[in-house]
Amino acid sequence: MDNQLKIQIQQSIRCPACGSVFLKIICGQDERTSHWGRLECGDCGRWVKWLPKPKPQPDLKRCEFIGGLLQSGKLTSWERSFLGSIRDKPGLSQKQLRVFERISKKITGSVYQDTS
């Protein structure tokens, strides 16, 4: 769990029972329901709210790389629209990844390593 998220949640929400701002995030194996996680009061143990699964962030390195490809001026219009459509996606399908690799190889001569 990202610490920044924890602090953000703790500062904006209080326990409805005792007013405590010390709230705990229960998730993963500790959360036994089908929910991703819950917010629980660290003082009185009261359930405060369900937590949704955090949204995956787009891969910034890939965004930048695609930006470079788009500026190269060597793309077909289909390739431009394809790259535009995957630019801000957090995760790519195997098929999208293969097309992306093919385009990046054609333009830069090397294959972009997707770390996500």
Phi, psi of 49, deg, nearest 5: -165, 160
Assess 15 for contact with Zn ion (CB under 5 A).
Answer: yes
Question: In this complex, which beta carbon is closest to Zn ion, that of residue 40 or of residue 59?
Answer: 40
With contacts defined by CB under 5 A, name the span among 45-53, 62-70, 76-84, 89-97 that binds Zn ion: 45-53
Q: Which amino acid, residue 26?
A: I
Say if residue 93 is exposed, middle or buried (CB neighbours under 10 Å; 0-12, 13-18, 19+): exposed
With contacts defined by CB under 5 A, name the span among 7-15, 24-32, 59-67, 78-86 that binds Zn ion: 7-15
Helix axes 77-86, 94-108, angle to 10 degrees: 130
Assess 41 for contact with Zn ion (CB under 5 A).
Answer: yes
Assess 23 for contact with Zn ion (CB under 5 A).
Answer: no
Question: In this complex, which beta carbon is closest to Zn ion, that of residue 46 or of residue 87?
Answer: 46
Structure tokens at 88: 């801000």
Of residues 11, 17, 56, 98, which one binds Zn ion by CB under 5 A?
A: 17
Neighbours of 60 (CB within 10 A): 9
Interface residues with Zn ion (CB under 5 A) are 15, 17-18, 20, 41, 43-44, 46
